[in-house]
A = this chain, B = another copy of it.
């Protein structure tokens, strides 16, 4: 997959950087050298370099070149949309996923969800509650809502694995973008039941609405973390233009 050239160049250069072939502070070969070695036009190299810059690998400087700014110590959760399973693989921490409940309910029971996913009262939706455990202790509680009609074949077994994998590979949908919201909120009774008695009785709550590439909102997710353990890392640029 991803057969286009600039993506291949991006992959190639980003893995070189991650593997340490270039170190922070070094200058990447110039665009001219890169277009020669990859045998492509300049704009194609530039697309790859722009991706590297947007994702925090390099900083381009007019007249000088592209400096590597990637630092292995910076967590690579660059505020991108990745599934829990992917985060886990990056961090090499092994969590267990336990399905607490999977139910089919009418949309009207969750007004927030109904509004965000733009559904009528009686539209059936899945409500899925999962615990993420590390050494038998719950660290994250994930509550998801999906349109039932979009995935009538959902089972507890699938939910225990990667839902994203199921949606993208089995159902062939493309996940595209999301809006997240991070807040700090007091634990509910269910939170206390699943997390156990911890201090402070607060969670870091990450609410997100995930959209497919045709812009339909299809997932409403609430991910609650133990507040004391939560950390969100983000790489951002001042102006996307210029």
Contact = CB atoms under 8 A, between A and B. Distances in A.
A104 interface: no
Nearest to A71: B179
A235 interface: yes
Contacts of A215: 59, 61, 67, 69
B177 A204 contact: no
B200 A236 contact: no
Contact of A180 (B183, B200, B234): B234
Interface in A154-184: 175-184
Which residue of A10, A69, A237 has the most chain B CB atoms within 10 A of its CB atom?
Answer: A237
Q: Is the interface of A mostly helix, strand, loop or mixed?
A: mixed
A182 B232 contact: yes
Contacts of A74: 179
Top 3 nearest A-B pairs (CB, nearest first) are: A182-B232, A184-B227, A180-B234
A184 B6 contact: no
A184 B230 contact: yes
A69 B239 CA distance: 20
A80 B240 contact: yes
B177 A4 contact: no
A207 to B, nearest CB: 10
A162 to B, nearest CB: 14
A59 B176 contact: yes
